[in-house]
């Protein structure tokens, strides 16, 4: 029969890959905890409106990338393409708006029907942090500092550049949008098809078009920074000053607009050139209008998410855990006592492997391969004498020890070592 393969754009996390992902999540969680963020999770699917309303019908994610389906009851559901809308929905439905600010961290799978390539999957994983409540620029800076700290703790910050921009408030953006559209109208025929469509739907997205012709046109387009009202400029100035004070280096990228429609004021991305085309490892911004699109009150908020697969490609491979002890039964009669001793060792917190088949030679080979510290061998003589032949695999040293002192002897050798 034909072998069934994984679905295109998905990947199994075999132990080495899973260890990398765990390392990313644990490092991020520990950094987030130092900023007072608490871990949470939302369901993997939501009512389709949770994403279609805040992310914007014209965004690529909603218009072409969601996995949406009707369940057996005829309800339209969507596998989450990102976590921010879900977290906000959870805050609103859980009544947490009464206790602001909320600092929330999450990690988990996301789903987007994109063209798979290195660093771009259809099921991928994100870590994310959302700070809900504060409206000042210091909140944006705190979120960016947390992002930078996670990257630093993972050892990848030095290969990333922080791109920072402001999209201003609604008033500033409306004024800019008008000026941008009137400039781009003059080049309409020369714009790529995608950008021609965006001209009426979401002209700001044309700024980060990858099309070479669009790029040339955009080069001389008016800049958003010229249209910022006083309060938007002040907000951005605070973010920049706080980042400078925290020693975070950044560059102003006036063309950074991000792919989701819910942003206002700050937008940022940490970008590396070590991953090819998919170089954005962590991105986010402020999204003060999102809660309202879900039927809630106006709730200032800022956050980011990072692609775990992309970070996992950049970090050094973590060590896979190896057992401390291997229990080798040298003959069938010793199987049960070995099995029992293995359980006793595990109860004492000592990680223990017991090969369940194979001859002595094979079992000792396995001990070498696993890199265990001790092999505990029981054959006919040991059965009779109620002992164990304990071999230190580092120096080959062997001793006969009573079965009922095995745990104590191994535990004290291991604690000496650590």
Return d(Cα 373, Cα 242) in angstroms, integer: 50
Residue 203 touching ligand HAM (CB under 6 A): no
Instruction: Specify the stretch interacting with ligand HAM by CB under 6 A; choose among 39-47, 79-87, 235-243, 247-255.
Output: 79-87
- Measured from the CB atom, the residue of 270 and 374 that comes closer to ligand HAM is 270
Whether 353 and 393 have beta carbons less than 8 Å apart is answered as no
Tokens for 1, please give them. 């029969």
Other CB atoms within 10 A of residue 318 CB: 16
Please report whether residue 268 would count as binding ligand HAM according to CB under 6 A.
no
Q: Please name the residue that has the structure tokens 């994983």.
A: 125
- 124 near ligand HAM, rule: CB under 6 A: yes
Q: Which of 21, 165, 166, 280 binds ligand HAM (CB under 6 A)?
A: 280
Task: Give the nearer residue to ligand HAM in terms of CB position, either 300 or 307.
Answer: 307
Residue carrying the six token digits 């973590």: 318
Residue 79 binding ligand HAM, by CB under 6 A: no
Q: Dihedral, CA atoms, 241, 242, 247, 252, nearest 10 degrees? A: -50
Backbone angles phi, psi at 227, to 5 degrees: -110, 5
Cβ 18 to ligand HAM, closest distance in Å?
16
- DSSP E strands in 206-335: the ranges are 251-252, 264-272, 280-286, 301-307, 325-329
- What token pair was written down for 244? 């400078």
Query: Considering the rule CB under 6 A, would residue 287 count as an interface residue with ligand HAM?
Result: yes
Among 106, 236, 304, 374, binds ligand HAM (CB under 6 A): 304
Q: Which of 54, 128, 137, 300 is close enough to bind ligand HAM by CB under 6 A? A: 128
Contact between 310 and ligand HAM (CB under 6 A)? yes
Q: Is 3 helix (H, G, I), strand (E, B) or coil?
A: coil
Q: Is 82 in the site for ligand HAM (CB under 6 A)?
A: yes
Given candidates 309, 324, 353, 382, which one binds ligand HAM under the rule CB under 6 A? 309
Nearer to ligand HAM, 298 or 362 (CB): 298
Q: Which of 83, 147, 300, 355 binds ligand HAM (CB under 6 A)?
A: 83
Note whether 130 binds ligand HAM by CB under 6 A: yes
User: Does residue 235 interact with ligand HAM by CB under 6 A?
Assistant: no
Residue pair 51/66 in contact by the 8 Å Cβ criterion: yes
Identify the H or E element spanning 36.
Answer: none
Among 24, 162, 306, 328, binds ligand HAM (CB under 6 A): 306
Helix (DSSP H) and strand (DSSP E) numbers for the chain: 15, 16
By the rule CB under 6 A, 289 interacts with ligand HAM:
no
In the β-sheet with 76-79, what is the strand arrangement from edge to edge?
45-47, 76-79, 67-70
Out of 54, 168, 300, 303, point to the residue binding ligand HAM (CB under 6 A): 303
Half-sphere exposure of residue 18, counting CA atoms within 13 Å on the CB side?
Answer: 6
Binding stretches for ligand HAM (CB under 6 A): 82-84, 112, 114, 119-121, 124, 126, 128, 130, 259-260, 280-285, 287, 303-307, 309-310
């Amino acid at each position: 029969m034909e072998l069934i393969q994984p679905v295109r754009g998905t990947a199994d996390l075999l132990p080495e890959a899973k260890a990398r992902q765990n390392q990313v999540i644990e490092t991020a969680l520990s950094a987030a905890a130092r900023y007072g963020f608490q871990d949470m999770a939302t369901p993997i699917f939501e009512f389709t409106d949770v994403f279609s309303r805040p992310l914007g019908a014209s965004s690529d994610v909603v218009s072409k990338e969601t996995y949406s389906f009707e369940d057996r009851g005829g309800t339209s559901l969507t596998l989450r393409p990102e976590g921010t809308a879900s977290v906000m929905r959870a805050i609103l439905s859980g009544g947490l708006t009464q206790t602001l600010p909320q600092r929330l961290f999450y990690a988990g799978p996301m789903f987007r029907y994109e063209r798979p390539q290195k660093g771009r999957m259809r099921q991928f994983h994100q870590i994310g942090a959302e700070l809900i409540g504060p409206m000042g620029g210091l909140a944006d800076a705190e979120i960016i500092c947390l992002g930078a700290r996670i990257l630093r703790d993972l050892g990848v910050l030095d290969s990333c550049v922080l791109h920072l921009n402001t999209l201003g408030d609604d008033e500033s953006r409306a004024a800019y949008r008008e000026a941008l559209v009137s400039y781009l109208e003059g080049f309409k025929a020369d714009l790529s098809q995608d950008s021609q469509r965006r001209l009426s739907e979401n002209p700001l997205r044309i700024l980060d078009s990858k099309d070479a012709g669009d790029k040339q046109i955009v080069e001389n387009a008016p800049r958003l920074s010229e249209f910022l009202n006083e309060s938007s400029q002040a907000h951005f100035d605070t973010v920049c000053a706080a980042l400078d004070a925290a020693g975070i280096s950044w560059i102003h990228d006036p063309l950074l607009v991000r792919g989701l429609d819910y942003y206002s004021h700050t937008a940022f991305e940490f970008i590396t050139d070590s991953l090819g085309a998919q170089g954005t490892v962590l991105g986010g911004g402020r999204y003060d209008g999102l809660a309202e699109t879900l039927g809630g009150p106006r709730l200032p908020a800022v956050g980011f998410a990072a692609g775990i697969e992309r970070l996992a490609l950049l970090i050094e491979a973590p060590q896979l855990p190896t057992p401390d002890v291997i229990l080798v039964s040298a003959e069938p009669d010793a199987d049960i006592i070995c099995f029992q001793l293995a359980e006793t060792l595990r109860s004492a917190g000592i990680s223990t492997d017991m090969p369940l088949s194979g001859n002595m030679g094979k079992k000792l080979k396995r001990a070498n391969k696993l890199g265990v510290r001790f092999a505990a061998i029981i054959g006919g003589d040991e059965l009779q004498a109620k002992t164990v032949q304990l071999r230190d695999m580092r120096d080959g040293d062997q001793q006969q020890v009573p079965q009922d002192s095995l745990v104590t002897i191994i535990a004290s050798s291991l604690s000496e070592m650590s």
